[in-house]
Each structure stands twice: as C-alpha cells, then as structure tokens.
Amino acid sequence: MMKTIWLAALLASGLAAQNGATPKLPKVFGGGAVEEVLWVRLDKGDDVLNSLEAIFKEKGIHDGAVLNAVGNLDACKFHGVGGSMTAISEPLEILNLAGMIADGKPHLHVIVSNKALGALGGHLEPGCRVGAQIEVMIARFKGPAMTRKPAAPGGASALQPK
C-alpha cells in the first residue's frame, strides 16, 4: 500500500514538474483508526439508504465507512455528476456499495448490474429496495471528528476536520 501511495505521489509531482508547476499535495487527515466493524443484514423490501442511516444513528456512528455490500435489489435510484437521476425498477445485483460517513452523514456510491442493462452506478439515493437480502460491512472510526462543509465561501461541500 505504501509503495502505491509513494508511486502515485512521485508520478503526480513528476507530471507537475514537467509542466513547470509546483506539485499540489492532497489534503490528508490522519490520526484515525478502526474502532469496530459491524456486519449488517438488510431484508426484502428495506430501503438501503434509509436503513443504513437509521443504523448509523442507532449505533452512534459519526465517522466511518461502508466498506462493501453484497446482495440484490428490486429497484435502485442514484444520481451521477450534475445531478442526473437514474431510477431502475427491475432486479439488480449489487457489484459494489461503498463510501464514507462523516458527522453521521453518509456519502455512498453504488454500482449495480443485470444482463440487460450492464453495469451502472452513482451516488446512492433513497429508493433502492432490497430484493432477497443484502449483507453490508460497516467500520466505525475513532479519532479526529470529520464533517463536510464548503472549503471556500459558496464552494462545494468538502471533507475536512470538524
């Protein structure tokens, strides 16, 4: 893992140097650790996002991650860049469901597929309904509290220390 990070940083700084620019390093917020891992099962008819938000509230998960999920859906709703909404009302397999939880609020992305549609995905919205069941792995983090708020006045919401 460290070799990958080092290589990415080296490539980024090399590309910036070729363009005559000073390399811009990413914002890194450290000091956190995994405190607990929860295995969650959602059953037929459950709304995925609403159910996960209820679990975060019930279990007091303010900062963490949805690491992965497997299972199937009867319907799914998600949006892409620019807010274009996609709603699908047919059986789908979850290829991936993952994201971050900051200040108790999730930012989750889903990738789903079926034979007719292929793979599609985006930002998870209410309206994704569990088919048979879904198994979800959630990590609770301890350490510095995180939130999302504008990084600059009038700017987009960005992950940063609370």
Q: What pLDDT shows up at residue 71?
A: 97
pLDDT digits 0-9 by tens, 96-108: 999 999 999 999 9
Is the pLDDT assigned to residue 4 strictly greater than 90?
no
- Mapped to the 3 state alphabet, what secondary structure does 14-38 carry? HHHHHCCCCCCCCCCCCCCEEEEEE
In the prediction, which pLDDT does 2 show?
Answer: 42
Confidence at residue 1, expressed as pLDDT on a 0 to 100 scale = 41
Q: How confident is the model over 21-71, as pLDDT tens digits?
A: 788 888 888 888 999 999 999 999 999 999 999 999 999 999 999 999 999
Domains in the chain: ranges and CATH: 33-144 (3.30.1330.80)
The pairs formed by 15-21 with CB atoms below 8 angstroms and a separation of 24 or more are none
Lowest mean pLDDT among 2-6, 77-81, 154-158: 2-6
Question: What would the pLDDT profile of 78-99 be if each residue is shown by its tens digit?
Answer: 999 888 999 999 999 999 999 9
Over residues 7-17, the mean pLDDT reads 49
- Say if CB 108 and CB 125 are below 8 A apart: no
